[in-house]
Amino acid sequence: MVMDKQNIKTQVHSAMYQNIKKKGYVSPVDVLMDLGILSKKDYEDWRFGKVPFLEKVCKVNLKRLSEVMKEMRVYSGEKHLKPSWTCYHQWGKHKNSKLRFSKSNDETIEYNYATHFVDVTGLEE
């Protein structure tokens, strides 16, 4: 999967726009799946705790993942989307089993992956 910076920007912004128009919000995992970086099966395996952290099953390197996340923040700022942190828990567990997104388990990176962006005003066409 070849993704240069301009291609990433265009694809991320398009994926975000489409998700917001459809659902009223967008999450990083939505964008990663839309871009083909994360498969639905790998996402579900992570949600069921079969994968230690989400980045492990993403099909691009950490630099590209970082660029995707940056473009999500850029787009959300341009469109005045409201950030909303969401706690991801492992599916099928009764006790509090919080999922990890990153290999580093860095607090800021984890927060960014768990932040959904909500359209509070309605996107302009």
Domain ranges of the chain: 5-118
- Give the model's pLDDT for residue 24: 95
Give pLDDT, residue 125: 45
What confidence score (pLDDT) does residue 49 get?
A: 92
43 vs 60: CA distance, rounded Å: 15
Give tens-digit pLDDT for 101-117: 999 999 999 999 999 99
* pLDDT at residue 4 tops 80: no
Helical spans, DSSP H, in 24-101: 28-34, 40-47, 62-78
With 80 as the cut, is the pLDDT of residue 6 above it?
A: no
pLDDT tens-digit profile of 23-46? 999 999 999 999 999 999 999 999
Span between the terminal Cα atoms of the chain, in Å = 30
Look up residue 95 and give its amino acid: K
**Residue 122, pLDDT score:** 67
As a whole number of angstroms, the distance between CA 59 and CA 110 comes to 18
| Res. 5 pLDDT band, cuts 50 70 90 | low
Q: How many residues does the chain have?
A: 125
Q: Three-class SS of residue 82?
A: strand
Give me the residue label for tokens 């964008």. 31
The answer, as to whether pTM is greater than 0.85, is yes
The predicted structure's pLDDT at residue 74: 96
